[in-house]
């Protein structure tokens, strides 16, 4: 899909740089479209589940909403009053539990390296970035808050 950028004999460094930057921009655009498509498919699949025996989640003052049991890779719902941590995927649930003090952290803000260690993961960049990605998604959906840049904590009340 993406042409390999090769340095031609006689090509200037600026020309080679332009080709590399163009290929990177195209790859980034494709990745963004993939992420949007994945989230859209997840939302559509969640809507089309109908009556599958899962009890509805009732939020005070609103009509009941059916939610399926969350599994790995499921879309993180936006937090609102009445939603329980049980609607989150297992990895996200563990992350919120650790920040809430369930693993002896005392409910204090933690950075991603500390979170990875508290979750029993190695503090290697790939694992830390995975935790950071999940934590940022939980912040964007209102389940966590960014206490300071790079640190996360539970929102009061969840």
pLDDT of residue 9: 67
C-alpha separations of 5 from 21, 28, 80 in Å: 10, 16, 47
Q: What's the whole-model pTM score?
A: 0.52
- Convert the pLDDT of each residue in 26-35 to its tens digit: 999 998 888 8
Average pLDDT over residues 52-74: 53
Instruction: Quickly state the pLDDT bin for 60 (edges 50, 70, 90).
Output: low
Residue 153 has pLDDT above 70, yes or no: yes
Contact partners, residue 10, CB within 8 Å, separation at least 6: none
pLDDT of residue 25: 92
- Convert the pLDDT of each residue in 102-123 to its tens digit: 655 556 888 889 999 999 999 8
């Amino acid at each position: 899909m993406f042409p390999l950028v090769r340095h031609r004999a006689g090509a200037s460094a600026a020309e080679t740089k332009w080709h590399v930057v163009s290929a990177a921009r195209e790859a980034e655009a494709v990745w963004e479209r993939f992420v949007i498509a994945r989230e859209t498919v997840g939302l559509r699949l969640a809507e089309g589940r109908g009556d599958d025996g899962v009890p509805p989640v009732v939020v005070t003052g609103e009509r009941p909403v059916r939610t399926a049991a969350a599994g790995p890779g499921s879309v993180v719902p936006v937090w609102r009053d009445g939603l329980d941590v049980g609607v989150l995927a297992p990895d996200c649930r563990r992350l919120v539990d650790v920040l809430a003090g369930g693993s002896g952290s005392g409910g204090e803000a933690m950075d991603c390296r500390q979170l990875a260690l508290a979750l029993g993961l190695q503090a290697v960049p790939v694992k830390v970035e995975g935790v950071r990605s999940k934590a940022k998604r939980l912040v964007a959906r209102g389940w966590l808050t960014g206490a300071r840049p790079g640190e996360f904590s539970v929102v009061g009340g969840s």
